[in-house]
Amino acid sequence: MRAPPPPPAWAKSLFSVGVTGTNGKTSTTGFIAGLLGLVARPVAKVTTLGCFLDDERLDVPAHYDGFIQTLEACRRAGGRYAALELTSEALALGFAQAWPCRVGVFTNLSHDHADAHGSVEHYLASKAQLFMALSAGGTAVLNARDEAAHLLQDVLGPDVDVLRYGVASRGAAWATADLVADEIELSFRGTRATLAPSRRFPGLPRQLELRAIGEIFVENALAALGAALAASVPVERAVARLAELAPPAGRFQLVQERPYVVIDYAHTPDALARTLVTARALCRGEVTLVFGAGGDRDRAKRPLLGAAARAADHIVLTSDNPRSENPLAIMAAVEAGVGPHRDLVREVDRASAIGLALGRARPQDLVLIAGKGHELTQEVLGVRSPFSDVAIVAQARTATL
């Protein structure tokens, strides 16, 4: 990835919100785009799912030139806002200096991308670039229950406003939050939470409802709400709009009932652990986890993924995107982290692994297929082939009818 050039002269005509963190970036960015659309449309949205004007996906290159084409298309269509998912790799190359953001949002920090950064310090320092580049009058939206956000606050300029949010499950608070959710209720229809009264936002409604399933989405929604309020979106309209927005594809996506089958992109230890907590809270039977780990990436993460997987009643260990590595070797590294388990089976072929899990599940059980989420390909020994977890589940369901 090459370092981006200086921003075009028209860049500051768009109010840009940048989102960084380990987990939840795509969901948070999508929520932000939906909220900014209450003020002006179209909204440019750039995430790992692609480049969009509102909900229309643009056919642009998957690199910086495509990004610029998306933002320019938004400007020409009369758009005023952009919601941008920013990876640590892009920020390390200077993206925050190449594209000005008025608001920076931090979701959380956990183990990921050790191969790209070498240390957690470099990983966090890369994300910090977004906040160091915020100009006077900008806003940093920080997670008051993630300790790394405390460090980010220290790099802000003197005239940058700070807005904090928090959900108790993330951990102890390092500062008082402006947006707090508690009394969270989960169902297969979505998530409901109570919002604590806010001195900063006295008109804040008491109830937050989401179509997305899981406590993590409450955290993402609060981050998005903070960004929207920094962009002067009316608070009551913003909370009401959140109830209408769908989560991105492959994020606790319920694709079948009885047995319940969920597709989730969780591919970090923290994300997998939290997704399993959600699955356990919803499931009246037993939870089966189908998962693996990617090749040619962050080998230190593999046993940690295995440790997170222990919470499942049944584990079907398989391949993810092995890329150039031997998938059996990757699976062995993950299994070492699982340790002794009541029921772990190995099936290197991912489609067969999914079929195995579905075949063993009872109507009240939940099968969680983790790691690939929205992805439509699988790379094995350098060859990329069409592959969709959602499509595999659909094929299996059709075969049993």
Prior bond of 303 cis (ω within 30°): no
**CATH for 11-242, among 3.30.420.10, 2.170.190.11, 3.40.1190.10, 3.30.559.10?**
3.40.1190.10
pLDDT at 113: 46
Question: CATH assignment of 253-400, given 3.90.190.20, 2.60.40.790, 3.20.20.70, 3.40.50.720?
Answer: 3.90.190.20
In terms of Cβ atoms closer than 10 Å to its own Cβ (0-12, 13-18, 19+), residue 5 is: exposed
- What is the bridge-based pairing of β-strands 139-143 and 15-20? unpaired
Domain borders along the chain are 11-242, 253-400
Q: How far is CA 252 from the centre of its chain?
A: 11
Query: What CA–CA distance (Å, rounded) separates 142 from 264?
Result: 25
The CA-based angle 193-370-303, given to 5 degrees, is: 110
CB 164 within 8 A of CB 179: yes
Please name the residues in contact with 10: beta carbons below 8 A apart, sequence gap of 6 or more: 72, 75
Q: CA 387 to CA 373: how far, in whole Å?
A: 11
* Average pLDDT for 271-283: 97
Residues 6+ apart with CB under 8 A from 202: none
**In Å, what is the CA distance from 67 to each residue of 50, 51, 75, 344, 383?**
9, 7, 13, 43, 27
**What is the per-residue pLDDT across 172-225, written as a single tens digit (0 to 9) for each?**
999 999 999 999 999 999 999 999 999 999 999 999 999 999 999 999 999 999
| Structure confidence by residue, pLDDT tens digits, 285-311 | 999 999 999 999 989 999 999 999 999
Contact 252, 278 (CB under 8 A): yes
CB atoms within 10 A of CB 255: 18
CA-nearest of 277, 308, 127, 292 to 213 is 277
* Residue-wise pLDDT tens digits, 155-183: 999 999 999 999 998 989 999 999 999 99
CA distances from 291 to 26, 213, 288, 316, 356 (A): 21, 20, 10, 7, 13
pLDDT value, residue 6 = 85
**pLDDT tops 70 at residue 401:** no
- pLDDT at position 115 is 57
Q: Sorting pLDDT into bands at 50, 70 and 90, what band is 110?
A: confident
- Give the ranges where 286-380 is alpha helix by DSSP (H): 301-309, 327-338, 350-360
- pLDDT greater than 60 at residue 116: no
Structure-token match 């089976």, residue found:
345
Return the pLDDT at 173. Answer: 96
| Residue 238 to residue 140: CA distance in whole angstroms | 18
pLDDT level of residue 112 (50, 70, 90 thresholds): low
CA distance 232 to 40: 12
- Give the SS3 label for residue 373: coil
Q: Is the pLDDT of residue 144 over 60?
A: yes
d(CA 248, CA 375): 12
**Average pLDDT along the chain:** 95
User: pLDDT tens, 346-360?
Assistant: 999 999 999 999 999
**In this predicted model, what pLDDT tens digit does every residue of 41-88 receive, in sequence order?**
999 999 999 999 999 999 999 888 999 999 999 999 999 999 999 999
pLDDT at 62: 86
